[in-house]
Structure 1
Amino acid sequence: MTTAPLPAGATEAPLRWSDALLLGFAPMDRCHAEFVDVVAALQAAPDAELPARLAAVRAHLQSHFAQEDEWMTATGFPARECHVGEHAAVLASVAQVEVLLSRGDTATCRRLADELARWFPGHADVMDAALAHWMCKRRHGGKPLVFRRSLGAGGQPPAPSSKPPSIPR
């Protein structure tokens, strides 16, 4: 199996969905699969497509984070403030990078894409897993059940990061 070369300036292979990212709350898992798709598209985009791909990431994040906030608010999720704070930091980073990209800074946009790919597995494993557990407990009376296929050596997601991506100016 061969892989396509990365676009000029790309630093990492695109984020890929794997069963390791499943949390057992189907609406959240679907949203996370979409996140993986839009971030991977941003990571793999040629320079000319970066503005449109970054706009797609922003639109997805706004919808994704609003959905999670709706779940947290409607159910009285105890860790809501911390969770939405991390979401706000991610959206602020995306907004800053959109400005820099509009001035031609493709390298910072690519760094953001890679940081989102590194950040997401850790965020999902900690914050979103707690929310998935909470939602399943509310809806079904118990913890989520997750059945994963064998992941093998290459099926693991990128190493998690415990903080939201931040792009220095």
Structure 2
Amino acid sequence: MAARALANGHSPVAAEETFGWSDRFLLGFAAMDETHREFVDRVAALKRASDAELPARLAEFAQHAVAHFAQEERWMTTTAFPAAQCHADEHAAVLRSVREVEQMLRDGAALTLARDLTQALIDWFPAHADYMDAALSHWMSKRTHGGLPVVLRRGVAGPARVSHF
């Protein structure tokens, strides 16, 4: 199933938990953080959508995802990001899954397929942001500002402090 191909096992959010924006997703590159907030909002809207609303919310998400991924891919190109192809391949896989589900719904498939896709997106996004997008954010910050981004995450537990004495 196309939707299941997105899930990668990192930082999954249980189906009964809410999915919404938090400082946990901040990466320190303002334009990327704003786009990610919209991504999370669109996925949360999919999660909350009634059956009647679901196809329209999926179309809105698809439109956002196309623009979002194109923006990141422009950043990767203009800054010569070394892992651009791997990152773009992941975007392409997500868009392929979204398009497949949209087509299946038009062909009369059950709405549970879109619900499964929504959960797969919820499971996929945290790891994608933590690994791929964080690397891009760091790269762009180093290229444009000469250093790593500073990220202040309110209400998010930091790493445990280890005493070396």
Do the two structures share a fold, i.e. TM-score over 0.5? yes
Deviation track 1:107-161 (CA, whole Å, cap 9, x = no partner) reads 0100000110110000000000000000111111100000011236xxxxxxxxx
Q: Does 1:49 align with 2:53?
A: yes
- Aligned residue in 2 for 1:162: none
Give 2:58's aligned amino acid.
Answer: L
- Aligned residue in 2 for 1:6: none
Deviation track 1:43-89 (CA, whole Å, cap 9, x = no partner) reads 11000111100001100000000000000001110000000000000
- Aligned residue in 1 for 2:143: 138
Which of 57, 61, 64 aligns to 2:65? It is: 61
Task: Give, in whole Å, the separation in 2 of the partners of 1:86 and 1:145.
Answer: 26
Task: Give, in whole Å, the separation in 2 of the partners of 1:12 and 1:95.
Answer: 25
* Larger RCO of the pair (alpha carbons < 8 Å, separation 6+): 2
Question: Percent identical across equivalent pairs?
Answer: 58
Task: Structure 2 unaligned segments of length 5 or more: list them.
Answer: 1-14, 158-165
Task: Structure 1 unaligned segments of length 5 or more: list them.
Answer: 1-10, 153-169
Q: Secondary structure at the match of 2:52?
A: helix
For residues 84-95 of structure 1, the aligned pairs below 5 Å read 84-95=88-99
Q: Secondary structure at the match of 1:23?
A: coil
Please tell me whether the aligned partners of residues 136 and 143 of structure 1 are also in contact (alpha carbons under 8 angstroms). Answer: yes
Q: Does 1:122 align with 2:127?
A: yes
For residues 20-31 of structure 1, the aligned pairs below 5 Å read 20-31=24-35
Q: Secondary structure at the match of 1:47?
A: coil
Please tell me whether the aligned partners of residues 38 and 53 of structure 1 are also in contact (alpha carbons under 8 angstroms). Answer: yes
CA RMSD, 1 decimal: 1.1
TM-score (norm 1): 0.81
Runs of 4+ off more than 2 Å: 11-14
Q: How far did 1:13 drift?
A: 3.5
TM-score (norm 2): 0.83
